[in-house]
Amino acid sequence: MILNPKLHKQASFTLTANVNTKQLLQVIYRTQHSQVKDTSDQPKIKVSSVISRMAFFYEKIRNVVEYKEEYLLRKEAIKRILRRKTVIEGDTKECQAAEISEHLLTELIRGGYLPNNQLPLSLIDEVAVIIKKYLVIKNIAAPSISKEISKDLTKRDLREIRDEIAKHNQLVDWLLAVAASEIEARLSQDPVLNQAIKNLYEYLSKNIQLADQQELAKDLPIQIYLSINRNFAKLDDDMLTFILFKYYIADWQNLPENLWPTVAKNIEKIRNVVNSQLRHPLAEPLDKIISRYAVAVSVSLELLRQDPVGIYTSFKTDPQAFSRQIKKICETKYTKAKKLLWRAAVRSIIYIFITKGVLVILLEIPANKIFGAEIEPLALLFNILFPPTLLFFSVLVTKVPDENNTEKIIKLVNELSFEEYKRSEPIILRVSQKKTSVLRKIFNFLYGLAFIITFGAIIWLLTIFHFTWVSILIFLFFLVFVSFFIIRIKKVTNELKITEEKENLWRTIFDFFSLPVLSVGKYLSEKFSKINVFVFFLDFIIETPFKFLVNMVEDWTNYVNERKNQIG
């Protein structure tokens, strides 16, 4: 029998967890084994289960027409409820904060965003303090402008009045978005996630170095932190704004009431600084680097949560086991991502069918009749079926990451977790240089040429098939809209990819001519989301009376129960 000369070496090989990995394992262990306080005797926030089913069904319908990412739905619901209670219904007085808080938490429970009969009543007071803070700032920074507008109305430029109204509304919406983000942060406290973010920030802040443009170095730490939260914690701009509030205003979450007016008076300056950080030139190059590490942390965290003690022991007893388990986690996440992709696709197809059907009934057919254009049934059918079909087949051919991707994830996990794999060289961050004016003009010309060729070819093909100009416009609208939709829903699989796709001539040509379609789709999606007819209809026509009815039925149910208890 011939022994493998490397056998002894393999047996003696062990993995040494670094300080960050040990701290993360300790936090996971403490969280999983901490004794839960007995709160059975404490009063809880409770709602009627029958009423909750009605509200839950409504929330499902509304979430379909708003097409937001699932992990943002609760935060968006909080923002929507705050807007309705403070703007639409006009509950803007300081003394209303507790009432708004109670309504907010009750509606979140009814909508299935929070558990029923488990949250303590004291949470109402905690959330009320947050709401009160933002209401005070809003009432000082953005007071009602109706009286100002009514003054010297005939002497003032209508454009000036319109700009004032828009500025006022934007500020109010911005403050409510930050308030919703702070409430969401309070409701979703996760010490394990916080420790993972802290670890990744410490590691990357030590290893990332700017190659040039050293004038940006002062913003590098906060930009790294924002990028980690954007790519790993999946926070949107609203929640990143809340992080920046904490960054610029010391002890923001516990700020004394006497300092709230000072913040209100400087709110525009704060807003400008926050927006400059969100649109910082370091954001894009950092995202390219940190998105890869975010995938690695997400995978390793999922494994460590399963058995922190057993996994830590395996570092010495079976070092290869860790990589094998990481590989299994990757395969599981790929399968889950595919399922989420199809779920998002189904939601999007339903949304497209609804919007398309409404446009055909309300716009396409009447417009063709008004302008004397002959309605072509086949063109109409094609116009209805093509957008969801395009989305369906795009999702069908979407591939999950391969083994090469998994190997690179394992490599990054090892780099973040063990002393044996620690990085020996810094990560060089390069900020793309601005193109010269001549070169930019050439690129703009080529992009414009691609725009003309792409849309010109589509219009030419549609005219061959006897599309009317109204049908062509609607087809183009849904083509660019669905194209951008496809990019958005594919994020669920693309976010797991850390390998770069191989470039080839045909892909470069395809990207060149598809870019105009995607660019217009992104623009229209952003604009359409702000004027979403279905969301407007639900918010202003349906939701307020529906919630009033729900509250009334809830009060009636409570009254009946009280009377029944008195009789019993």
Q: Which amino acid is at 357?
A: G
**Model confidence pTM above 0.85:** no
pLDDT at 360: 66
Neighbours of 511 (CB within 10 A): 12
DSSP secondary structure string for all residues of 3-26: PPTTHHHHHH----B-HHHHHHHH
The C-alpha angle with vertex 243 and arms to 238 and 249, in degrees rounded to 5, equals 120
Phi, psi dihedral angles at 6 (to 5 degrees): -90, 0
Contact 291, 414 (CB under 8 A): no
Q: Using only the alpha carbons of the chain, give its radius of gyration.
A: 28
pLDDT at 216: 86
Q: How far apart are CA 568 and CA 563, in angstroms?
A: 9
pLDDT at 431: 84
pLDDT at 86: 85
List, run by run, the mean pLDDT of 10-residue segments along the chain (568 residues). Answer: 45 79 94 71 78 65 62 88 80 68 90 88 94 92 60 60 79 94 93 96 94 86 96 94 95 93 93 95 94 95 93 89 93 89 80 70 67 67 78 83 92 94 90 72 80 86 80 80 78 83 71 74 61 52 58 57 59
Residue the block writes with tokens 């429970």: 109
Q: Domain extents for the chain? A: 340-423+436-530
